[in-house]
Structure 1
Amino acid sequence: MSKIIDLRVEFTINPLGLDESKPRFSWIFMPATRGNSQKAYRIVVGSLNNITKDSGDVWDSGIVESDDNIVEYKGLPLKSYTRYYWKVKVWDKEGKEYSSDIAWFEAGVIEPKDWTWIGGGQLMRKEFVIDKEVEEARVYISGLGYYELRINGNRVGDKALDPPWSEYTKTVYYSVYDVTKLIRKGVNATGVILGRGRFGQRFGSVKYYGEPRATVMLRVKLIDGSVVEINTDENWKCLQSGPIISDDIYLGFRYDARLELKGWDLPGFDDSSWMSCSKLPPIGKLRSSATIPATKVMAILKPRDHLNPATGIHVFDFGQNITGWVRVKVKGGIEGSEIRVRYAELLNPDGTLNTLDLRGAESTDVFILRGEEVEILEPRFTFHGFRYVEITGYPGTPSMDDVEAEVIHADLEPIGSFVSSNNLLNSIHRITLWSLKGNLMNGVETDCPQRDERMGWLGDAWLSSDSAVLNFNMIRYYEKFIKDIIESQKGDGSISDVAPPYWEIYPADPAWGTALIYIPWALYVYYNDKRILENSYDAMKKWWNYLNSMTKDGILYFNKYGDWVPPGRVRSVEHCPPEIISTWILYRDTKLLSRIAKILKKDTEAELFEEKAKQILEAFNRNFLSEVSMSHYSTMGYYSTYTSPDGSKVKFGGSQACNALPLVEDMVPKEALEQVVKSLVKSVEVDWDKHLNVGIIGAKYVPEALARYGYVDLAYDTLTQESYPSYGYMIKEGATTLWERWEKLTRSGMNSHNHHMFGSVDNWLYKYVAGLEVLEPSFKKVLIKPWLYKRLSHASASVRSIRGLVSVEWELRNSVFKLKATIPSFAEIHLPKISEKVEVLESGSIISEKTPGILSIKEGSDWIIVEASSGNYDFEVRSVKGR
């Protein structure tokens, strides 16, 4: 039976504390029969009593003829602290009506409110009296840099590091918790522990904002309908120093359990010696984090090995490079004794920790015991990137049961999966996922989680964004990240290389700043997210104007990083001249802005950007496309000319990246196309023996260019190598996450072993191995085109898209090709012709245009192309012997 599922507001199920004035509603209609689909919808919003009767007393959209399943609220103004219920009705193509279950969302602080910030202590507490029975209670809180909230002796919520990072002078995020079960009639106590986090970080050139502080509002609705509100003010009590000696995301956590104050978060505690908290001035605008996936403990790992490289030194190997910390159980410790826990990604040959790649990050947690029979040691307000942990000072010998690692990352909804018959490809997918998860934290996509950096580098973020959106529900996470970028923008239009701009690196490299344009475009492609285009369009134009102002004769020479970290180098003009990359980025940004302007119905601006793109394209080919003579042959490709000290001219370029970039954007003139493709193929196949000679930009686009121009097998060969440089080499050398460099480096410097910037490879696996690609926004139309490789017998992938499940599963065995597909709306399916003459079956019968759900069938030289509407399909392609 057809049904409506997955009701969401702002892409979140039943969000608590939403402060959007015009939230977006979404749902999935699952028709029971092929080819059926939504024809119309009706949304009703209001009180539970009215929604039960299908009446929307706050908003009734009426019956709207449309297949849209993402709809913006257009009802009465929403009120703060109010719970709204809603449902949707759908009519299918046959006119049948279906009704959803009832869902809800609760508004946070929508009307303006004066939040009061207080500070002056590591611990804060307040007692209050509730004189009637409680109907419901909510707490609205932000603590900078991090906080832990406690009510009547209980920790509130399961967020590990909150609030999300931001440009605090512009935006500060608050959380909302339902604490009805924790508040009681009579005397209550609430307490807050504060950590420094990014806000109070004093570390090198990292931006410092101020001392820790908090703002809290507790709203208690009583059974008589009245509301009691408790806010932070000078009547709260603060303790300046407690058991937390220090907390720092780079240096680690220092804790003295002897200084713990038992019962400090309970009513009746004697806080007469505590000071009154100080009222502090406001910072940035407070916004709800209700729909931003929070950082939480997402898994627990036990050690796989226990090493003892020297007396009193115990090293535990968790078998996987992760982000988080360890929890240690101590038995029989002596009061005042110290236990140190150090973290590292690498080991020295003698089994001790190799911490050289951490640079200035000490990554050490120190605990002073209180001397109880059993003590559990666990840090707060810090995190580490590690595989190995060293414990010293432990009384006796810790067992493997005494130590466990807590894996933390954003609580992102997994939506995608990929698997194939090639275990190396599966391993590449696996280490990409671990790298993405390990760096999706604190509302930011960091570069790495271990060393003295952990910044939201824009280049890393956009390069892996296609892979991220195929594997996780990223829409609200990336919308927040784009807001961070916009809030870093200066009056001249420049943005920082990192967002939030904790390192103020202005202006961004063009190939990093393109994240401001590329990621919103990706959200439109994968989620039909027009709001992000509307909200960021002006900032995009300002950034584009800033870059365009630096061009000379159509060429953008400004560049800082180039095709970052190709084999054996960090950057190199000889590898791919930076002006080629910058101008290519400017051209692509200009084309995207033209398309975005058209979507936003800014037709005049769309035409202006289109014309500007033509001018950049002409300048690009005029300056860089040339024929270069080698010792035994000449080659056509993209080079830049430099003048040597002796006045002679020399050309640099012609690398895999230099030639792939214009190929993927259709920039190469027709008369030169064949030659440029041949140059690229020769470099990959001959000069580099089927290996990639690329940095992070080339890694995304060289395999794409090879596949697009008919060399899919060659691209596959590069991705299945096990010798240096390759992804397989990383795995062969023990990588459990993607490396920052192609080389296995163990010294200090740039050699993170958990970096996601090479993670663009996962998008290629979905697209060219499983054969799944988006053709129209939000997967309204998909391309299913599995390529056949000599060493691959089957592959499958699925994505739970905003329109429903999209999946493909194919195999080739005994000269029979089989493909199963699930399509939410429409698909163009390419079935390979495995011999000169084939027959195609669907669900066991010869396919025809009368087959349910099949819209058309066309036969090409290599493919049978089938257009199909929604439904589940089971295709089989068999060879037919000639007569």
Structure 2
Amino acid sequence: MNKKLLVLAVSACACACALTATAQSEVKNLRTENRIDPLGLDVLQPRFSWQLESGKRNVVQTAYEIRVVHHKNNVWSSGKVFSDSSVHVAYKGAALQSGEKYQWQVRAWDNSGKPSAWSHPAGFQMALLQPSDWQASWITPGYEEDATMRPSPMMRREFSIAKKIARATAYITAHGMYEAAFNGNRVGDAHFTPGWTSYKKRLQYQTYDVTSLLQQGRNALAVTLGSGWYRGTIGYTNHNNFYGKDIALLLQLQIDYTDGTKEVIVSDGSWKSSTGAITYSEIYNGETIDARKDKTGWTQAGYNDAGWSAVKTASFDNANLLATYNETITAHEVFKPVKILKTPAGETVLDFGQNLVGWVRVKAKGNAGDSIKLLHAEVLTKAGNFYTENLRAAKAQNIYVLKGGATETFHPHFTWQGFRYVKVEGYPGTVTPENFEAVAFYSDMEPTGTFTTSNQLINQLQHNIQWGQKGNFLDVPTDCPQRDERLGWTGDAQAFFRTASFNMGVNNFFTKWLKDLEADQIDGRVPHVIPNVLGNNANSAGWADVATIVPWQLYLAYGDKRTLAAQYSSMKHYVESIRKTSRNDLWNTGFHFGDWLFYRPGDDNDGRSAVTDKYLIAQCFYAHSVQLLANAATVLGNTADAAVYTQLLQNIKAAFVKEYLTPSGRLVSSTQTAYVLALHFDMLPEALRKQAAERLVENIKSYNNHLTTGFLGTPYLCHVLTRFGYTDMAYNLLLQETYPSWLYPVKMGATTIWERWDGIKPDGSFQTPSMNSYNHYAYGAIGDWMYRKMVGLDTEEDGVGYKHIKVKPYIGGHFTHAAASLKTYYGLTKAGWAIADGKITMDIEVPANTRATVYLPVKDAAGVTESGKPLSSIKEIKTLGSEDGYLKIETGSGKYRFGFPEK
């Protein structure tokens, strides 16, 4: 460090130390593009977020200063910016360079006028920003592949390092899946890389810091490939080679030496290829590993690969390459068997106690050639036998052939299963719990939300919702992780998004998936699954509307205006694709799934069928998408579009009234879903909404307080009931324990959300096996009502992303307490209520740099206390008056405890 830099550093340190003593607030939890110290960003103006922490109330940020450093040189200083923005603040400095690493810090001024100390540094590393940055060549196996079994190719090369390494970065992707190792050590903790995207347009590569894996002297690079989504069987049509027949690797290793020089090691014709222990691997069918074929030591330097084949180079276009934006799939919870069963059929079955997605790791000791087979299932039959019929064509089995001798450990590499139960065949010796463990895999999203109540069945429902999300969020939001499907169904994703965004940080996860949605749109039309592997089928109402619903809800949940802007064209093209085919502003053409898997009464002789007219549904979602497009246009400042689509919305609603509503206000489909959608999307004239809500409630009562809704009606059902003053009925539905209901599967022992209301019937028999998943999150959308209405923790639209928090609980259902917490970009927020001894207590936590509007369920402030003192004496709290039977108040940051008599 030169003398000038040293003086500056010492001066900065002295200032920071001096400020620490007087600082009123601290700046913590720095993130770049929603991630902690990310590697491999191709965002040219990355956005910074931080949290202001203070033990005081009513703390807000009034200004900030950011500085970004590269090799100790300042590349951007924002200067003091007078703003309360602390989320998604864009970099505005000099152009960032490919592969380079940067550090940044921030300090903030709060409303006391004093600055915080500079934060601890956060870092980020850029990806390869130009196609010309890629020096590597695509390489494919040099041997003739077995076209039937397609054993996993192995590729390797060695090289020498003579200098001291400062930093080493690897960029890797594949056609198929890959696992890489340097000098025998696995690269990274990600699995099933490079993940699943619309490969022909968007192929992600991963960036790894591999400095610690390299050594002076000889080094070995070793990569194993699997067919994966790229060329493996995908889609229930048993379609192979969807994206191509080849399997290929692209790898580039950049080594920065301490003397300032660089070296690049790439995939090229010098690599060797062969096959080994993985003799078969398919996502649906499982993996076969024959340890006798293992090439011991092949990942280490010095291995003799003279008998291996030279790889072939290929000229694939790199125009579709992009850095990884979302979190990769990683291993999470580990389960030991809770029981070892001997079924009536004589099968040995492990019960892991939780329906999960991942694989089983096995330890065994036996003779060479001993073969262990693991088969996977979600449920047992009524008689207690192993059941796999609902897996359809998916074999979902892993086979391990022992080398013999010492204890051996096996697990798959390029496949996973959805299961609670595992049947073990051919195990040498006694099957004992210590030799088996199930490992759960899902995208490495941060858990953000908690929810708990006084009702243990509801707590189990929340558990099931979260595990349904974990099991189906493997790089794409899938529909079922166990059978021959596992596709990114759009309807499920839109129905569940708001619930998902509470439980986990799904911003990057869905931002990546939305880019694939846009890439796969067909003249604006949205395919049923994303990535699209089902052909030209598109634009089913409630499915295709994911194109507008998720970008808007993502904006509400995270305040992510950039993603909303990026998806605006996609949103608009989707709406226009409907407009082109509509007639007289009616969307009454094309195929629609309708209210998928709604409840069908067994003997519907009285005409009460829950079938809802599919075009009525389509019209409602058409209006909703136009409304969201107009909203987005307004937020983005596109006033011309906002005016056009506001007028179109009026026309669509007028056409709905003319086509589907009688003069007296009765809908042509007198179902719960029809009334729910018409009310939730404001399709009815104001004067007719009250009686429509009454008809909805009467319908529910006619089914003995049971719901009849399917995938499209269910997410909004309780919201509509609460909105129109029927919260008691919403609680009746939530707490209903008999079929159809949310708690019926819970009472039947479910540990995840089922695809059908009666996946297991009351008599213990199963629903139609061709469509009967026991891990299918769509009906878990009730979580959104539990979090945002029951507890009341929400965000106002004038302060999206929980900048302006709303707390408005709807207390009922004979609960004695309910509470939720959420990690927001601003910090932890909490809300909860408890009833004891005729008194209600509400606890609320508001993070710094936000405010909250709180609705207390009392008529006025008389008798209301905060932390034991009369509300009227608390100067930090502003009373805004009464509204809808609540006392409306406003608070700044801090922790609050309100108390008042129960009604």
- Alignment length (residue pairs): 847
- Could you tell me which residue of structure 2 aligns to residue 828 of structure 1? 853
Q: Is the 8 A contact 1:838 1:878 kept in 2?
A: no
Q: Which of 92, 98, 110 pairs up with 1:80?
A: 98
- Residue 228 of structure 2, aligned match among 192, 197, 200: 197
CA offset digits 1:209-268 (Å, max 9, x no partner): 2322111011111221111110001111111x3221110000100111100001111111
1:650-700 per-residue CA deviation (whole Å, 9 max, x = no partner) reads xxx11011011121122321332222111001011x211111110011111
* Structure 1: distance between partners of 2:679 and 2:233: 46
Q: Which amino acid aligns with 2:414?
A: F
**Of residues 477, 482, 485 in structure 2, which corresponds to 1:445?**
477
| 1:622 alignment partner, one of 647, 655, 658 | 658
SS for the counterpart of 1:405 is strand
Q: Distance in 1 between matches of 2:352 and 2:600?
A: 30
CA change 1:749–1:677 in 2 (3 A) is same
Counterpart CA distance in 2 for 1:382 and 1:340 is 15
Residue of structure 1 in register with 2:8 after alignment: none
Of 10, 13, 16 in structure 1, the residue corresponding to residue 39 of structure 2 is: 16
Match of 1:383 in 2: 416
| Equivalent in the alignment of 2:25 | 2
Q: Hey, what's the Cα distance between the residues in 2 that align with 1:261 and 1:569?
A: 60
In structure 2, the partner of 1:63 is: 80
Matched, 1:339 2:356: no
What is the DSSP-based 3-state SS (H/G/I as helix, E as strand, rest coil) of the residue aligned with 2:892? strand
Q: Is the 8 A contact 1:798 1:805 kept in 2?
A: yes
Aligned to 2:525: 494
> Which residues of 2 match residues 211-250 of structure 1 at below 5 A?
211-239=246-274, 241-250=275-284
Contact 2:835/2:902 (<8 A) preserved: no
For 1:58 and 1:117, locate their aligned partners in 2 and report how far apart those are by CA, in whole Å.
Answer: 35
CA distance in 2, matches of 1:164, 1:588: 32
Q: Distance in 1 between matches of 2:741 and 2:404?
A: 51
State the partner residue of 1:517.
548
Deviations 1:693-713 (A, max 9, x none): 100111111111101000011
CA distance in 1 between counterparts of 2:27 and 2:787 reads 28
- For 2:773, the equivalent position in structure 1 comes to 752
Partner residue, 1:647: none
Residue 510 of structure 1 and its aligned partner are, at CA, apart by: 2.5
Distance in 2, Cα, partners of 1:256 & 1:499 = 35
Confirm or deny: 8 A CA contact 2:600 2:610 kept in the other structure: no
Aligned residue number for residue 365 of structure 1: 398
Q: What aligned pairs does 1:142-181 form with structure 2 within 5 A after superposition?
A: 142-181=173-212
* Aligned residue type for 2:666: G
Helix, strand or coil for the counterpart of 2:230?
A: coil
More strand as a share of residues: 1
Identity of aligned residues (%): 34
Contact kept, 8 Å, 2:620 with 2:683, in 1: the verdict is no
Structure 2 residue corresponding to 1:842, chosen from 861, 866, 872:
866
Amino acid of the structure 2 residue aligned with 1:420: T
Counterpart CA distance in 2 for 1:153 and 1:744 is 46
Tell me, yes or no, if the aligned pair for 1:621 and 1:668 is still in contact at 8 Å: yes
Structure 2 residue 895 is matched with structure 1 residue 877: no
Q: Match for 1:672 among 667, 684, 688?
A: 688
Find 1:116's aligned residue among 137, 154, 157.
137
Contact 1:837 1:879 in 2 (8 A): no
Counterpart CA distance in 1 for 2:64 and 2:92 is: 14
User: Corresponding residue for 2:6?
Assistant: none
Q: How does 1:471-620 map to 2 (within 5 A)?
A: 471-490=503-522, 492-557=523-588, 558-568=590-600, 575-620=611-656
Q: What is aligned with 2:19?
A: none
CA deviation map 1:525-550 (0-9, x unaligned): 11111111111111211111111111
State the distance in 2 between where 1:125 and 1:568 align.
58
Distance 1:120 1:503 in 2: 29
Q: What secondary structure does 1:300 align onto?
A: strand
Tell me whether 1:853 sits opposite 2:882 in the alignment: no
Q: Is the 8 A contact 1:137 1:218 kept in 2?
A: yes
| C-alpha deviation, 1:837, in angstroms | 8.7
Question: Residues of 2 paired with 1:116 and 1:373: CA distance?
Answer: 40
What one-letter code is carried by the residue in structure 2 that aligns with 1:362? Answer: K
Change (3 A) 1:58 1:434: same
CA distance in 2, matches of 1:159, 1:312: 38
Using the TM superposition, give the Cα deviation of residue 74 of structure 1 relative to its aligned residue in structure 2, in angstroms. Answer: 1.2
Give the Å deviation of 1:879: 7.1
Gaps (5+ residues) in structure 1? 51-56, 628-634, 640-652
Tell me what 2:125 maps to: 106
Deviates further, 3-12 or 100-109: 100-109
3-state SS, counterpart of residue 216 of structure 1:
strand
Correspondent of 1:396 among 429, 449, 457: 429
The reply on whether 1:188 has 2:219 as its aligned counterpart is: yes
- Change in 2 beyond 3 A, CA 1:525/1:879: closer
Distance 1:807 1:123, change over 3 A: same
CA–CA distance in 1 between the matches of 2:861 and 2:641? 51
Distance 1:812 1:505 in 2: 55
Q: Give me the whole-angstrom Cα distance separating, in 2, the residues matched to 1:417 and 1:128.
A: 50
TM-superposed CA distance for 1:144, in Å, is 2.8
What does residue 704 of structure 2 align with?
689
Task: Name the TM-score, length of structure 1 as normaliser.
Answer: 0.93
The residue number in structure 1 matching 2:60 is 37
Q: How much has 1:451 moved relative to structure 2?
A: 0.3
Q: How far has the Cα of 1:861 moved from its partner?
A: 6.8
| Equivalent AA in structure 1 for residue 721 of structure 2 | L
Q: Which residues of 2 match residues 648-659 of structure 1 at below 5 A?
A: 653-659=669-675
Match of 2:720 in 1: 705
TM-score by length of 2: 0.91
Residue number among 404, 409, 416 corresponding to 2:449 in the alignment? 416
Shift of 1:838: 4.2
Pairing 1:271–2:286 present: no
Which of these residues, 800, 808, 814, is aligned with residue 785 of structure 1?
808
Output the CA distance in 1 between the equivalents of 2:317 and 2:288: 28
Indicate the SS of the match to 1:268. coil
CA contact (8 A) 1:17 1:288 kept: no
1:269 deviates by 1.1
Unaligned runs of 5+ in 2: 1-23, 143-152, 761-765
Aligned partner of 1:727 in structure 2 is 742
**Superimposed CA distance per residue, residues 528-573 of structure 1 (whole angstroms, 9 cap, x where no aligned partner):** 1111111111121111111111111111113420011011389999
Name which of structure 1's ranges 356-365 and 272-281 shifts more when overlaid on structure 2. 272-281
Give the distance between the partners of 1:826 and 1:734, measured in 2 at CA: 41
Summarize the Cα distance change of 1:690–1:311 in structure 2 as closer, same or farther, 3 Å threshold.
closer
Q: CA offset at residue 330 of structure 1?
A: 0.7
1:585 CA drift (Å): 0.7
| Superposition deviation, residue 719 in structure 1 | 0.9
Q: Answer yes or no: is 1:432 the counterpart of 2:465.
A: yes
Task: Name the residue aligned to 1:649.
Answer: none
Partners of 2:513 and 2:60 lie apart in 1 by: 34
- Aligned Cα root-mean-square deviation (Å): 2.0
Aligned-residue offset at 1:350: 4.4
Rounded Cα–Cα distance in structure 1 between residues aligned with 2:392 and 2:323: 33
Partners of 1:854 and 1:732 lie apart in 2 by 44
Which is worse superposed, 800-809 or 741-750?
741-750
Shift of 1:33: 2.0
In the TM superposition, what is the alpha-carbon distance from 1:32 to its structure 2 partner?
3.2
Letter in 1 for 2:40: G
**Map of 2:146 onto structure 1:** none
Conserved in 2, the CA contact under 8 Å of 1:855 and 1:869? Answer: no
Asked whether the equivalents of residues 79 and 111 of structure 1 are also in contact (C-alpha less than 8 Å), the reply is no
Match of 1:631 in 2: none
Q: Which residue of 2 aligns with 1:407?
A: 440
Aligned equivalent of 2:733, options 718, 721, 724? 718
Specify the code of the residue in structure 2 equivalent to 1:753: Y
